[in-house]
Amino acid sequence: MAIAASAAVLAACGSSGGGTTGGGSSAAASPSASATTAACSPAGLAAKHELVTPGVLTVGTDTPAYPPWFIGNNPANGKGYESGVAFAVAKEMGFSPSQVKWIREPFSNSYAPGPKKFDFDINEISFTPERATAVTFSDSYYAVEQALVALKGTPIVTKHSPSDLKGYVYGDQVGTTSLAFINTAIQPTTRPRVFQTLNDAKQALQTHQIAALVADTPTAQFISSSEIKGSVVVGRFPSSGEHFGMVFEKGNPLAACVNQAIAKMKSDGTLDQLTKKWLKVYTSIPSLEP
């Protein structure tokens, strides 16, 4: 139902697609294209009461906001992949940087049912059918690969065949797809330990309460290079189709305008440019099989 609703709104907001230059076809296409731009503009969205604050795009994310998704724990500076994506989407819709307001929203609250204080939330939130019953997701802006973080010199660093991986004790943040990946893909013989925050899971790794944790590859690399001294990214797992999407209050028609912006960013190379700028280093990490 959510997909159908989004598609219907996108059809109303989308381009007419008329590519001809002859007489009536061209004349018919131009007003429709203008209506698309107007409908998804700050003024158009404000007129339809589709923004939390008229004329302002309110974007949520968690705190702290980690690299490489955000830099300096400051989403508003435009630095980092997700900050860059959010500002690029805003630009496509006609919002200036000064018209983008950031608010802090705990990760688990972002996809919980109910009214939202943001227009959309961008916070490495993977689409799942269960989450999509409570909120509306945008199209993908990042295809996720999970990666394994462990302490140097521990057995898992060198012994990580699929059968070896089942024998270790893992830990991760509650409600994350990384925790779900441990349970469904690795399927360890010992139930993984569940923590309220990623910081708690990292502390458990440092104190040898767990053998490894799982995170999306860029986050895993940042944990290893900048947060846990003496840790290493053992490897990354093949993508299983998991992807990040921006989150909206259930049924919010704004998602159609954002999807239109994402499609444009894919076609004109904006997403590729942001990926190369902020995420290129992570493609060199060796592969693992769960």
pLDDT value for 111 = 96
Confidence tier at 281 by pLDDT (50, 70, 90): confident
pLDDT value for 30 = 32
pLDDT value for 156 = 98
Tokens of 260: 């239109």
Confidence tier at 11 by pLDDT (50, 70, 90): very low
CATH class of 146-236: alpha beta
Crossing angle of the two packed helices 270-279 and 81-92, in degrees rounded to 10? 160
Quick: pLDDT tens for 208-238: 999 999 998 988 998 999 999 999 999 999 8
Q: Report cis status (omega within 30 of 0) of the bond before 192.
A: no
Residue whose C-alpha is closest to residue 181's, from 219, 236, 254: 236
CATH number for domain 2-15+22-141+244-284, candidates 3.30.230.70, 3.40.30.10, 3.40.190.10, 1.20.210.10: 3.40.190.10
26 has a pLDDT exceeding 70: no
* Most confident of the following: 6-10, 142-146, 256-260: 256-260
Among 29-38, 39-48, 121-130, 156-165, which stretch is predicted with the lowest mean pLDDT? 29-38
Backbone angles phi, psi at 149, to 5 degrees: -115, 130
Task: Answer with the residue of higher pLDDT: 242 or 102.
Answer: 102
* Domain spans of the chain, in order of start: 2-15+22-141+244-284, 146-236
22 has a pLDDT exceeding 70: no
Quick: pLDDT tens for 69-97: 999 999 999 999 999 999 999 999 999 99
Q: Do domains 2-15+22-141+244-284 and 146-236 have the same CATH topology?
A: yes
